[in-house]
Amino acid sequence: MADGTAAVAATGEALEALTASLRGGVLAPGDADYDAARALYNGMIDKRPRLIVRCADAADVIAAVNYGREQGLLVAIRGGGHNGPGLGSVDDGLVIDLSLLRSVRVDPAARTVRVDPGCTSGDVDHATHAFGLAVPFGIVSTTGVAGLTLGGGTGYLTRKYGLTIDNLLEADVVLADGRLVTASATEHPDLFWALRGGGGNFGVVTSFLFRAHPVGTVYAGPIFWEATHAQAVMRAYRDFLPDAPEELGAFVGLKTVPSMDPFPKAYWGRRACAVISSYNGPAADGERAMAPLLAAAPPPIFNWMGAMPFPAMQALFDPFFPKGLQWYWKGDFVQSLPDAAIDTHIAQAAVAPSELSLMHLYPIDGAVRRVPKDATAWSARDATWSMVIAGISADPSQADALKTWGRAYWQAIHPFNLEGAYVNFMMDDEAQGRVQATYGENYPRLAAVKAAYDPENFFRVNQNILPAAAR
Ligand SMILES: Cc1cc2nc3c(=O)[nH]c(=O)nc-3n(C[C@H](O)[C@H](O)[C@H](O)COP(=O)(O)OP(=O)(O)OC[C@H]3O[C@@H](n4cnc5c(N)ncnc54)[C@H](O)[C@@H]3O)c2cc1C
């Protein structure tokens, strides 16, 4: 019908059929749970999807993908909902919400872990810790495993055990045509290669299988120095890291001392430099590992490293970063940290617009470099750090100030850095070519795999890789 009535009616019937086929459910504007379900971790992003399909199993995911394709809807995939630019949701489109899928099964004998796509890294840490095991994930336990893994995944265990993707053994994926395939080194190896760094470009992962490693009690925690010592600390950290044992994951940051207990009141709200570390092993060995850094740096304000269960370290910063804060992210891969770069960092961080705003440099050396650059889509294996500048505030009226600061900081520091950035530290306002620069020589192969598995670019609410034929 020319007036579109038939199309509307078809949509209604199709929607009824979808709803009837699901074990989970569908939420639409006006439904009681809609606003809670659409809320993202980053309070700066406010998207209003047409439909949210809350999936209870892979069959629901298949039904949602087929519905989205047949109805010509833009489709977003939501794991933990932590993505900076909110790519786990979409205005006026369909969200495949995996947050109900949170089971974890550990095989302690094989040292593998089967993980559902709605899990947070805290869910997995909780399950694996009972067996003295852990998978390398990020440093905040509420982050979704799915988005973090598909982007690469860096954290305290990375120097010893590699990126999260270096520990991915297998993934079940619902493709754009609704088929479910398993990707591994032996099944659909091209897809498996692309998934390891290529984000949500290739399909909806409904199950991950990871390799786990012996991790129990760690010697870990933050050390803070006054901002006046930042130059000395950053130089000492830079020179210390290459010889530090790989059991030590240690990142350096420019931050502010939080204005709350148990931080020393005299320092509340004052700019600071921090090294935050986790040594996987006995405390005495951890103290020995840290000794050269502490000897080279001035005396800190406090050193709160101590023995703790690994999941406690993973959750240490959760209270500072509740859902709903304003976040503006900029990233870069960093190969070296000359003195001039350190001075630029210090000058830019000094004018941060809020107490929570920060700059972190996460090490990606060690085991990451032992994997060839072309072994996975993720290609920045010659970098030393993944840098993030994050403007963060609880106050929405600061949104513009966070963006202005983040952009100015990045403009000043980028000339010292590599061209690309970790895709999970990018917003959606990057210049054309940043995604290509990030994948470097791997980009043409990624585009070819995209053309093979998603030729219509159905999955494009992400840091998008264009199918080779469409370029
Ligand atoms: C407080 C905080 C701390 C962080 N710390 C770290 C860190 O230490 N290390 C690190 O590596 N990263 C870190 N990150 C970045 C993090 O990796 C990204 O925010 C990531 O997108 C989170 O994944 P998610 O599943 O929660 O995101 P979502 O918003 O749910 O999804 C993001 C994107 O991932 C893709 N995706 C999600 N689920 C699936 C799926 N099942 N199948 C296919 N594609 C999918 C989609 O493209 C989606 O748009 C941190 C983020 C925050 C907010």
**pLDDT (tens digit per residue) in 216-240:** 999 999 999 999 999 999 999 999 9
Distances (CA, A) of 387 to 189, 288, 330: 30, 27, 8
Distance from the CA of 96 to the center of ligand 1, in angstroms?
Answer: 15
- Give residue 34's identity as a one-letter amino acid code: Y
**pLDDT (tens digit per residue) in 264-276:** 999 999 999 999 9
CA-CA-CA-CA torsion sign (212, 113, 147, 325): negative
Q: Which two tokens stand for residue 286?
A: 């951890």
- Characterize the bridge pairing of strands 75-78 and 25-27: unpaired
- Residue 144 CB less than 6 A away from ligand 1: yes
Place of tokens 């966070």: 402
Mean pLDDT per block of 10 residues along the chain (471 residues) reads: 39 92 97 97 98 98 98 98 97 98 98 98 98 98 98 98 98 98 98 98 98 98 98 98 98 96 95 98 98 98 98 96 97 98 98 98 97 97 98 98 98 97 94 90 97 97 89 46
**For 192-213, b where at least 16 C-beta lie within 10 A, e where not — what string?**
bbbbbbbbbbbbbbbbbbbbbb
Q: Which two tokens stand for residue 391?
A: 């403007």
Q: Give CA–CA dist 442/450, Å, rounded.
A: 12
Q: Give CA–CA dist 196/164, Å, rounded.
A: 9
Write the DSSP string, 139-150.
SSTTSBHHHHHH
- Characterize the bridge pairing of strands 217-226 and 213-214: unpaired
Distances (CA, A) of 287 to 230, 238, 293: 22, 18, 10
**pLDDT (tens digit per residue) in 2-42:** 333 333 444 689 999 999 999 999 999 999 999 999 999 99
Distance from the CA of 138 to the center of ligand 1, in angstroms?
Answer: 10
Q: Provide the pLDDT for residue 431.
A: 77
Distance from the CA of 231 to the center of ligand 1, in angstroms?
Answer: 32
- Residue 360 CB less than 6 A away from ligand 1: no
Instruction: Please list the residues that pair with 303 across neighbouring strands.
Output: 223
pTM of the model: 0.96
Q: Give CA–CA dist 369/207, Å, rounded.
A: 27
If one residue of 40, 42, 47, 83 were mutated to test the ligand 1 pocket, choosing by the most ligand atoms within 8 A of its CB, it would be 83
Distance from the CA of 227 to the center of ligand 1, in angstroms?
Answer: 31
Distance from the CA of 300 to the center of ligand 1, in angstroms?
Answer: 33
Atom of ligand 1 nearest to the CA of 163: 11
Write the DSSP string, 180-221.
EEEEESSSSHHHHHHHTTSGGGS-EEEEEEEE-EE--EEEEE
Q: Say if residue 50 is exposed, middle or buried (CB neighbours under 10 Å; 0-12, 13-18, 19+).
A: middle
Q: Which two tokens stand for residue 19?
A: 């709803």
Q: Give CA–CA dist 325/321, Å, rounded.
A: 7
Q: Give CA–CA dist 185/372, Å, rounded.
A: 15
Distance from the CA of 459 to the center of ligand 1, in angstroms?
Answer: 16
Distance from the CA of 325 to the center of ligand 1, in angstroms?
Answer: 16
Cβ atoms 338, 419 nearer than 8 A: no
- Residue 462 CB less than 6 A away from ligand 1: yes
Strand-by-strand arrangement of the 204-211 sheet: 104-107, 112-115, 204-211, 168-174, 180-184
Helix (H, G, I), strand (E, B) or coil at 79: coil
Q: Provide the pLDDT for residue 11.
A: 63
Atom of ligand 1 nearest to the CA of 461: 49
- Residue 222 CB less than 6 A away from ligand 1: no
Helices 5-21 and 58-70, packing angle to 10 deg:
170
